[in-house]
């Protein structure tokens, strides 16, 4: 389970929270948009760029996380035959969503130091039997070069994006 924010957790400055909320909004906006019909010429192919949201928005990442994602992406393309077909999405923690009912259910932000904000986001990729589905995701934002950027994601199972990428890189490197 993700840590519960203490009552004494300090809220971020309004302008900082607005920036990270905007990043989150841009990540999740495409999930509630219908997938366009494929052109008759067969040229449509979904973007499976590592770290991009469903609509292709590439959130700002810290330099170290961006480098890790880049290395992971290159190694997976070289080592994983089915990499391009992998539809698992870091942000919705799913492979499919129902655009008609997908939504951000809740979001709460807390300051975790002068240049750190954590955002606990609950995104539902769709309703099932009248209930929102989804698992909480903890975004860790860091101010780098004067801008707020994603520094890590912590999933419900307590694993983190950084740890998962590092484990995959290590395993792919052993196969070489």
Which residues is 127 bridged to in the sheet? 132
Predicted local distance difference test score (pLDDT) of residue 132: 81
Predicted local distance difference test score (pLDDT) of residue 50: 61
Predicted local distance difference test score (pLDDT) of residue 7: 45
pTM value > 0.75? yes
Q: How far is CA 130 from CA 92, 124, 127, 134, 166, in A?
A: 19, 12, 6, 13, 38
Which of the residue ranges 33-42, 113-122, 164-173 would you say has the lowest mean pLDDT?
Answer: 33-42
**Percent of the chain's residues with pLDDT above 70:** 76
Torsion angles phi and psi, residue 79, rounded to 5: -105, -20
Segment 14-21 shows an average pLDDT of: 96
pLDDT digits (tens, 9 = 90+) for 107-166: 999 999 999 999 999 998 888 888 888 889 999 999 999 999 999 999 988 899 999 999
pLDDT at 6 over 50: no
* Residue 88: exposure state from Cβ atoms within 10 A (0-12, 13-18, ≥19): exposed
Among residues 116, 161, 111, 107, which one has the least CA distance to residue 10?
A: 111
């Amino acid at each position: 389970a993700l840590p519960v924010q203490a009552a004494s957790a300090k809220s971020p400055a309004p302008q900082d929270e607005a920036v990270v909320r905007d990043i989150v909004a841009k990540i999740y906006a495409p999930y509630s948009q219908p997938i366009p019909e494929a052109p008759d010429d067969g040229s449509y192919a979904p973007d499976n760029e590592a770290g991009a949201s469903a609509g292709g928005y590439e959130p700002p990442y810290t330099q170290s996380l961006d480098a890790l994602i880049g290395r992971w992406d290159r190694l997976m393309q070289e080592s994983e035959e089915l990499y391009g077909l992998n539809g698992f999405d870091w942000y919705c923690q799913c492979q499919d969503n129902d655009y008609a009912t997908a939504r951000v259910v809740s979001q709460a932000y807390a300051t975790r130091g002068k240049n750190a904000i954590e955002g606990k986001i609950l995104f539902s990729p769709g309703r099932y039997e009248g209930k929102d589905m989804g698992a909480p995701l903890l975004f860790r934002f860091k101010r780098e070069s004067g801008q707020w950027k994603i520094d890590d994601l912590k999933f419900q199972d307590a694993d983190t994006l950084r740890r998962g990428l590092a484990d995959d890189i290590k395993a792919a490197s052993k196969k070489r």
